[in-house]
Chains A and B, each alone.
Chain A
Amino acid sequence: MANRATRPIFAPVDIAEHERRLARGLVEALPEPILIVADGRIVVSNDAARAVLAGATEGADVRLAIRHPAALERLLGEDTAADEVALVGVGGPERRWALRVSPLSGGLRLVRLADRSDAHAAEQMRVDFVANASHELRTPLATLVGYAETLREAGDEVDAATRARFTAIIHDEARRMQRLVEDLISLSRIEGEKFSPPGDAVDLAALLEETGRAAANAAAQRGCRIAIEAPAGLPPVAGDRAQLLQLYDNLVANALRYGRSGGTVRISAAAHGEEVRTAVADDGEGIAKEHIPRLTERFYRVDATRSRSAGGTGLGLAIVKHIVERHRGRLVIESEPGRGTIVTVTLPAAAAAGAPS
């Protein structure tokens, strides 16, 4: 039985053995997935092709490896159109390939796959960004217009208490839009400065104290305590003071927002060789593992309703990521459901960051 399954099937088109070896050597040397097909069977496939296409073993029917109808037309039929066929979700979710078929002599067909995943992801991100940003702005705007209209149309029929409630909602929604616009602007500014390393020497201990003071009000509202642990004599880091302040503001705001109410937010800093490692930790319910890689995406939210009601713009961690990148630092998010979340930001010390050019 097994015998039958593994028995090689020889291609009906005969290529002399040395030519086959030459073809295989050539194809194997190339990094992109490549197949050579004759009469609907795979004569030669390289490692890259076998990694991407489940059934791309030599001797197999090509329909086991490639299923796209337009690609099969070019491989099996008379259709010799040279344009590409877009393959979606082949070799992994979200992956995209451009498949091209070129005829060779002797009825052989060369199949090449070019990886288009990155280009597609970039384009998708751009489209998503515009769609998301407008969606995010539209939601508070609709509330705003709705309440303002009600107030205007109802006129004097609205009692003072209702009027006060409505104006408070209008104010909150307007503030939310304002925060969102501010975040969008600062995100684009940070991105614009990506390639100019920041030059100030920033004292992190003082900066973290300032962050703690600024968040004191918000902490009191949640009944939370902020504990700062920064030893004296911490080396200064090379940074942009305003951006670093924004970075820690965002992290502390998140920790307060998603931490346990009545819990403690711990901010710590310590020197590690040529670097300063800082961490902001909460004792909230944590974040499930599958969300962590996506947290720094713009507008990615684990729980959209909760994030919005807590006043989040969905851009906080995206801004953090970009600031850390501009500072040549590292950002690590760790979380354990039920235990809390720790965000660690490691920044190069001022001397180690290299002389400003």
Chain B
Amino acid sequence: MRAALRSLAVAEEAHRPAGFGAERDELRALISQMGGLAEHAIRESMRCLMHRDSAGARAVVEADARLDALEAEAEARIVAFIARHPPSDEDLREAVAALKIVGVVERIGDYAKNIAKRVPQVDAGRSDIEPLSLLPAMARIAAEMVGDVLDAFVARDAAAAEQVCARDRSVDDFYDSIFRALLTFMIEDPASVGRAAHLLFVAKNLERIGDHATNIAEMVYFAATGARMPERQRGDDGIGGR
């Protein structure tokens, strides 16, 4: 079946329409553009959270519709791409990876939107919640992971994708320490529970964003090499043991 598919692909190679490469480029550019929207949404939602910018937060929520629209467009293109050309192994790999990446990028946008939605309820300007000072540092790493994995995607760089996965550990560490700090805070000051709970969700969203950046990295690795990323780079154990 597979061999038949490949011979078909080889036969097809000669008859590929001139626009084939351009179509693939267009798809990559579209995914990169989506990634830019998601990356921007993370940074912007955190800026709004720290500066109590409710209007800015609303803009982040509204901008998510654009990401959803691009996701739909990208999906349609990927499906058409597979349908129109019997794909080679490499093309099929790239198309499948692209399909998954598009979905994950959209999810990252949703997490950023969720952070933005909490802005009016957190009132972060009241600096009495100490763990609040850890969130921007955590968000910076998460946003950097998203940015770096997009760079790896653009450059089809499997090694860079692996490095992104290694950083997920520090996002998880941040989450653990923020979780513990917020818990202590809530126990000591029950009046703060509402706001602290929102912050806990913000931290959780950032932690999920880090995980999703890792998922994209695995797809980039897969598309570039045809193999699954070695377990030690993906899982929770054995990364740069501390």
Contact = CB atoms under 8 A, between A and B. Distances in A.
B20 A55 contact: no
A1 B94 CA distance: 13
Nearest to A132: B133
A68 interface: yes
B36 A72 contact: yes
A89 B143 contact: yes
The dominant DSSP class at the A interface is loop
Contact of B39 (A4, A5, A65, A67): A67
B25 A89 contact: no
B134 to A, nearest CB: 12
A63 B30 CA distance: 7
* Residue picked from B29, B39, B140, B143, most chain A C-beta under 10 Å: B29
A5 B154 CA distance: 13
A55 B32 contact: yes
Interface string A87-102: 0111001000000000
A308 to B, nearest CB: 14
B185 to A, nearest CB: 14
A60 interface: yes
* Residue picked from A5, A40, A63, A93, most chain B C-beta under 10 Å: A63
Nearest to B63: A69
B210 interface: no
Interface in B35-94: 35-37, 39-40, 43, 63, 66, 88, 90
Contacts of A90: 147
Contact of B37 (A1, A4, A54, A69): A69
B47 to A, nearest CB: 10
Contacts of B66: 69
B150 interface: yes
B35 A67 contact: yes
Given A60-B25, A63-B30, A93-B144, A54 B151 contact: yes
A5 B20 CA distance: 11
Contacts of B151: 54-55
B21 interface: yes
A89 B144 contact: yes
A121 interface: no
B12 to A, nearest CB: 12
A61 B147 contact: no
A88 B150 CA distance: 14
A120 to B, nearest CB: 13
B8 interface: no
Interface string A54-79: 11000011111111111010000000
A18 interface: no
A63 B21 contact: no
Given A1-B90, A54-B154, A89-B143, A9 B25 contact: yes
Nearest to B40: A69
A7 interface: yes
B187 interface: no
The dominant DSSP class at the B interface is helix
Interface residues of A, number: 24
Nearest to B43: A88
Nearest to B146: A89
Interface string B140-169: 100110010011001100000000000000
Interface string B171-214: 00000000000000000000000000000000000000000000
A63 B32 contact: yes
B121 interface: no
B117 interface: no
A65 B29 CA distance: 9
Contact of A61 (B29, B88, B140): B29
Given A7-B21, A67-B32, A68-B40, A55 B154 contact: yes
Contacts of A88: 43, 143
B28 A61 contact: yes
B163 to A, nearest CB: 12
B147 A63 contact: no
Nearest to B41: A69
B33 interface: yes
B155 A61 contact: no
Interface of B: 20-22, 25-26, 28-30, 32-33, 35-37, 39-40, 43, 63, 66, 88, 90, 140, 143-144, 147, 150-151, 154-155
15 contacts: A4-B20, A9-B22, A55-B154, A61-B28, A63-B36, A64-B154, A67-B33, A67-B36, A67-B150, A69-B37, A69-B66, A72-B33, A72-B36, A88-B43, A89-B140
Given A63-B30, A66-B36, A72-B36, 13 more contacts: A1-B90, A4-B21, A40-B29, A55-B32, A55-B154, A61-B25, A61-B26, A63-B29, A68-B40, A69-B40, A88-B143, A89-B143, A90-B147
